[in-house]
Amino acid sequence: MIVAGRKLLLTAIALSAGLSACSIGGGSGGCKDNPRYQTTEVEAPLKVPSGLQVPESGGELPLPTGPRSAVSAGPGGECLENPPRFFAASGSPAEEGLPLAREAEPIGGVSPGSPGAAGSNQVLISGASVLTNEVASFLNNWANVWSDRNLEEYFTYYASDFAPAGYSSHGEWQETQRERFAIQATTEIVLDSLEVETLPSGDAKAKFVQRFGAAPNYRSVLKEMGLTSGGPRGWLITSERILDVL
């Protein structure tokens, strides 16, 4: 279904005029109706002459049927444009002409909205898998905490028994990090370099380029991290090592 260009133009004009009128003199007197916006109609499907290719229509959205309210009064009396809904309300039967919105699927066993889902639904790497984007979000947040020198939050990204090579215990590693975090520095993950591998145990291995340090002495390394499910963000770092200095 295709909305005629002329009527889309009328819609845009109506939106602009409605907002302008409200800002000038409609603050306390409520909002005026906008019949041109409310009566926008759906045009018949485009008829393509024989021998010509039918244009792609996968991105079309049908205009909902039934009455539509074009304007309403905001909390301060200002006029707000309210375009019609394109999806039925969550938990209610589908209205005529309105498809049901798809529920967000749990990522890595963590339901959206739960503490472990923070940032897990972000798409940071276009075209990458759900798992890779989930790990990218986790590592990106980890890097931000690192740069903010928020030590206590930084520790929550690691498993309670995390102790990299050269440290006899988790506590010894934490003490060393406390000393290091007293020095201001920043870090970033080169997301385009991220490679994520799922292990038979269900854990994951992430390989990426990390840039860190303080100007002008920045360094870049190729790092590998072992990740396991758990923690407040859905993952915990179980191992960490530098594969190469770049």
pLDDT at 22: 43
Question: Bigger pLDDT: 107 or 6?
Answer: 6
Where in the sequence of the chain do the CATH 3.10.450.50 domains occur? 115-245
What percentage of the chain reaches a pLDDT higher than 70? 55
The pairs formed by 212-220 with CB atoms below 8 angstroms and a separation of 24 or more are: 212/146, 212/185, 212/186, 212/187, 212/188, 213/185, 213/186, 213/187, 214/183, 214/184, 214/185, 214/186, 219/245, 220/190, 220/245, 220/246
The set of residues, in sequence order, having a beta carbon less than 8 Å from that of 188 and lying 6+ positions away, is 143, 147, 210, 211, 212
Distance CA 114, CA 110 (A): 7
Mean pLDDT to the nearest integer, 19-39: 49
pLDDT for 205 beyond 60: yes
Please measure the distance between the N-terminal and C-terminal CA atoms of the chain and give it in whole angstroms: 54
For 114-131, how does the pLDDT look when each residue is reduced to its tens digit (9 = 90+)? 334 444 457 888 888 999
For 84-110, how does the pLDDT look when each residue is reduced to its tens digit (9 = 90+)? 555 555 555 544 455 555 444 433 333
Distance CA 110, CA 234 (A): 6
Look at the block and give the residue holding tokens 């854990």: 203
Instruction: Give the bridge partners for 211, in sequence order.
Output: 188, 220
Distance CA 23, CA 68 (A): 23
Q: Say if residues 35 and 84 touch (Cβ distance below 8 Å).
A: no
pTM: predicted TM-score of the whole model, two decimal places: 0.52
Q: What angle do CA 81, 86, 89 make, to 5 degrees?
A: 95
CATH 3.10.450.50 applies to domain 115-245: yes
pLDDT for 227 beyond 80: yes
For 158-173, how does the pLDDT look when each residue is reduced to its tens digit (9 = 90+)? 999 999 988 999 999 9
Nearest Cα residue to 235 out of 104, 137, 113, 105: 137
